[in-house]
Copies of this chain bind each other. A is one copy, B any other.
Amino acid sequence: MASERRYAVLAHNELGTFHAKTAHGVMAYGVSPTVVVIDRAHAGHSVREIVPHLQCDAPIVASFAEAKQFGPTALLIGIAPSGGVLPPDWRAEIVQALESGLEIVNGLHLTFRDDDEFNAAARRGGGSIWDVREPPASIPLFSGAAWEVPAHVLLTVGSDCAVGKMTVSLELARAARDAKRNVAFVPTGQTGIMIAGWGIAIDRVISDFAAGAAEQLVLTAARDHDLLIVEGQGSINHPAYAPVTLGLLYGSAPDALLLVHDLSRTEAVGFPTPVLSYSELIRIYELLCSTVKPARVVGIALNTSSLSPDDAQKAINDAIFETGLPCDDVVRNQPHNLWRAIAPVLTQKTRPVRAKARVPSS
């Protein structure tokens, strides 16, 4: 499941910006080390000098040719080209990496496996291509096997998309590891997949198989872990993305849910649809789970990055008062307090609901 990659991260001109957030995520949370970054605008510095919070001392070089000396096994495309078209110089460096036998880890919408030049370079040099967003060719329908895993499954569910479900999942997994739990972060979107080195982008799976894909991830992670923290997607009332949310809610067969909300969000990304209150969200998520396999919301993780320290604490207190549940901002305040509050319930399994034998009507 976990990979043994050593990353060269391609991030020309953008390492310090928001556009490199995939690269930042991989450096902050990735299971595979970043040994060198390729960014001609920041060559000669270390990552830490450009992005202090990453605590990463990898050198920055100007080209793939210079990066090779650091022994990378994979080239990770750490930023997205503007306009969606690969610049010619990126293309040349990707070809060089493939010719040098490296694996290309690509989270872009562009499918590198469909590119004749890349395929030819891979054949020449023994390199390979991993298009992270492309689901496996054959995903089975949901079967119910995920109901039977002995591992406890915690799923993060959101008030909207892009509120911080992945970060919360990763931070809680860190706290669980610190507490000596045998925990797996289960990635369901492209950044999470690049961080963990495995996973399926559920939003790219054919809708009939979305729940089946989530189930496969749980079955895989449950082989050698006894606590799974599944990265959620979207929100149950997002007009476009809710089907993905529901595929995860049923397919990952959670025993417990953790609600994630960003205090700056009042409507769904891209739509006038209102973000629901904590109690409305809890009611809907728990109601849906109660029809297939019960799971309760056991805590709330808030993204308070838009608020002052005082307002953040007030927002946390408000959420506790409204719901009676443990609540914290796991980035601002570290994940350990929230972890300790919810850990005691993250051992109990719930059972799927089963139809009772019907009494024949007259």
Contact = CB atoms under 8 A, between A and B. Distances in A.
Given A272-B353, A276-B291, 5 more contacts: A210-B243, A212-B240, A240-B250, A273-B352, A275-B355
Contacts of A287: 284, 287
Nearest to A315: B361
A84 B280 CA distance: 46
Nearest to A253: B239
Contact of A203 (B206, B241, B288): B206
Interface in A233-267: 236-237, 239-244, 246-247, 250-251, 266-267
A362 B144 CA distance: 48
Interface in A332-356: 352-356
A292 interface: yes
User: Top 3 closest A-B pairs, CB basis?
Assistant: A237-B291, A274-B355, A267-B355
A70 to B, nearest CB: 37
A266 B208 contact: no
Contacts of A314: 361-362
Nearest to A291: B237
Contacts of A141: 240
Nearest to A308: B362
B237 A211 contact: no
A91 interface: no
B266 A355 contact: yes
Interface in A100-143: 141-142
A210 B207 contact: yes
A310 to B, nearest CB: 8
A207 B243 contact: yes
A274 B353 contact: yes
A211 B242 contact: yes
Contacts of A210: 207, 243
Contacts of A142: 239-240
Contacts of A282: none
A243 B247 contact: yes
Given A287-B287, A354-B274, A292 B239 contact: yes
Contact of A144 (B208, B239, B266, B292): B239
B207 A202 contact: yes
A266 B358 contact: yes
A213 to B, nearest CB: 9
A224 interface: no
A103 to B, nearest CB: 25
Contacts of A242: 211, 246-247, 250
Given A274-B353, A287-B287, A355-B274, A243 B240 contact: no
A181 interface: no
Contact of A205 (B144, B207, B273, B315): B207
A114 B9 CA distance: 38
B240 A211 contact: yes
A280 B266 CA distance: 29
Interface string A190-219: 000000000000111111101110000000
A267 B273 CA distance: 34
A148 interface: no
A271 interface: yes
